[in-house]
Amino acid sequence: MNLSLEYKIREPKIKLDKNPLILLLHGYGSNEEDLFSFATELPEEYYIISARAPYDLQYGSYAWYAINFDADQNKFSDHEQAKVSRDLIAGFIDELIANYPIDKTQIALVGFSQGSILSYAVALSYPEKVQKVVAMSGYLNLEIVADDYLKNNFSNLKIFTSHGTVDQVIPVEWARKTPAIVENLGINITYKEYPVGHGVAPQNFYDFKNWLLEK
């Protein structure tokens, strides 16, 4: 079937009438294979779907939006591309529900780095589509969230966010600002740090997996 994003899928081993979904969103310069390596370790009743970002950087690398550098090596994110990807992911969730027996009340986004920045943006813009977010090694960028997001109902949304204390790509200080903003929206958030760089520590994986399984 032709959906709007390329993806890899692991069907649930335990089939229900409708199964929950974990949608994996990779980081900048990676691809759908990256987080999919977790798939065998994730709960057996879930559809595990890993999406490929739409912008091709060549040689099997993809991005959700461009990151440009100026002469002083300052980074600039392309917010317009990020908003397009945000809406693309929201539409992709609808396509998955239409094509697979997925329980639309049990959808989790699991993002790493740029994928986690997009996970926040999708969840705050479309909280009716997402119930849980695992945001690893990213931060909340309100500039790519829907303009009217404050009108949304976040009562069913829960967030697990984590960061490495020696992250050399996205400073941990950026991540530390996120919990207060999210709590002010009335959203239940769990925040954890690990003594690693820009990556997923084994303990981080176990913590988010256990968090997903909590009812």
The whole-number pLDDT of residue 74 equals 66
Encode pLDDT of 51-105 as tens digits. Answer: 999 999 989 999 999 887 666 656 677 899 999 999 999 999 999 999 999 999 9
CA distance 178 to 21: 25
The whole-number pLDDT of residue 12 equals 95
The whole-number pLDDT of residue 213 equals 87
Encode pLDDT of 93-125 as tens digits. Answer: 999 999 999 999 999 999 999 999 999 999 999
The whole-number pLDDT of residue 77 equals 79
Percent of the chain with pLDDT over 70: 96
* Amino acid sitting at position 207: D
Percent of the chain with pLDDT over 90: 87
Does the structure show a pLDDT above 80 at 147? yes
Encode pLDDT of 14-27 as tens digits. Answer: 999 999 999 999 99
pTM here is: 0.95
Q: Name the β-bridge partners of 68.
A: 76
The whole-number pLDDT of residue 57 equals 93
* Range with the poorest average pLDDT among 4-8, 35-39, 127-131: 35-39
Domains recognised in the chain with CATH numbers: 7-213 (3.40.50.1820)
Does the structure show a pLDDT above 70 at 173? yes
The whole-number pLDDT of residue 67 equals 81
The DSSP result for 144-184, as a single string, is GS-TTGGGS--TT-EEEEEEETT-SSS-HHHHHTHHHHHHH
CA distance 116 to 172: 14
The whole-number pLDDT of residue 214 equals 83
CA-only gyration radius of the chain, Å: 16
The whole-number pLDDT of residue 76 equals 74
Does the structure show a pLDDT above 90 at 145? yes
The whole-number pLDDT of residue 92 equals 98
What confidence tier does 38 reach under pLDDT thresholds 50, 70, 90? confident
CA distance 37 to 51: 13
The whole-number pLDDT of residue 94 equals 97
Contact 172, 163 (CB under 8 A): yes
